[in-house]
Amino acid sequence: CHTSGMLTPNGKEYAQKIPREELTHLILKLLQAWKEPLSHFNQHIEHHQQLPDDSLSKAKQISNMVHELKTGVEKV
């Protein structure tokens, strides 16, 4: 995975011990790291007419959720 090199907390207890700003920054880095792969994935599957419409819809929904999450975390 392209984000495997990022140091992330291993479990809820460790995440709760990280200062809030540091954890927020880490979350933003992870969301940003997935932006391009999700976009590429969406572009790729749009060209496959044999995929069911619900699969295409789900892929777009996930990308939208990542974008909305990133926007929300930036506000925090």
pLDDT digits (tens, 9 = 90+) for 18-54: 999 999 998 899 888 888 888 888 787 777 667 677 7
Residue 13 scores a pLDDT above 70: yes
CA distance 62 to 68: 10
Q: Say what the pLDDT of residue 49 is.
A: 66
For residues 71 and 76, give the distance between their C-alpha atoms in angstroms, rounded to a whole number: 9
Task: Dig out the tokens for 76 from the structure.
Answer: 């925090």
Whether 12 shows a pLDDT value over 80: the answer reads yes
Question: What is the overall mean pLDDT for the chain?
Answer: 83
User: Coil, strand or helix: which one is 17?
Assistant: helix
Q: Between 19 and 3, whose confidence is greater?
A: 19
Q: How long, in residues, is the chain?
A: 76
Residue type, 2: H
Beta carbons of 30 and 6 less than 8 angstroms apart? yes
What number is the average pLDDT over the span 1-16?
81
